[in-house]
Amino acid sequence: MAQAQSAAPAPENAPFEVEQVFAGTCGFCHSDGGRAAGKGPQLMNSPRDDDFIRSRIKLGKQGAMPAFDGAFTDAQIDLIVKYIRALKPREG
Ligand code: HEC
């Protein structure tokens, strides 16, 4: 048998593809890349400030959204916040 392999979704040196991560991890509840409401609210044009968004991702909300503290580094969470801020309606 080969050595034990980490179950982590991506090795630390892999590029962090925020759009793919969002689609795979958050898209189940935040539809269309965060552009539309699903089980969770629409994130595009969120009136929340960055600190709120950051802490919601880290801590989740009991009974509503899982906590992702530990799943992502602070730097990765910053990239997710930037991604949410940059969301625009799809063309066409
Ligand atoms: C199991 C469903 C689920 C998943 C998966 C999920 N969320 Fe959520 N999310 C929710 C729900 C439900 C809320 C609303 C919570 C509340 O009542 O404040 C929410 C709220 C949020 C908010 C706050 C929005 C606001 O205006 O209050 C942000 C930001 C957010 N989610 C980001 C993410 C990100 C980023 C991911 C992936 C890393 C993610 N969510 C994964 C269900 C989910």
Residues with C-beta less than 6 Å from any ligand 1 atom: 25-26, 28-30, 39-41, 43, 46, 48, 53, 56-57, 61, 64-66, 68, 80
Residue with tokens 């530990």: 70
Q: How much distance in Å is there from the Cα of 2 to the middle of ligand 1? A: 38
User: Can you tell me the distance from the alpha carbon of 71 to that of 31, in angstroms, rounded to the nearest whole number?
Assistant: 20
Residue 13's pLDDT is 66
Fold of 18-85: Cytochrome Bc1 Complex; Chain D, domain 2 (1.10.760)
Nearest CA to ligand 1 atom 10: 40
Show me where the domains of the chain are located: 18-85
**Ranges under pLDDT 70 in the chain:** 1-13
Residue 91's pLDDT is 87
**Predicted TM-score (pTM) of this structure:** 0.88
Which ligand 1 atom sits nearest the alpha carbon of residue 53?
Answer: 29
Residue 8's pLDDT is 56
User: Can you tell me the distance from the alpha carbon of 60 to that of 62, in angstroms, rounded to the nearest whole number?
Assistant: 7
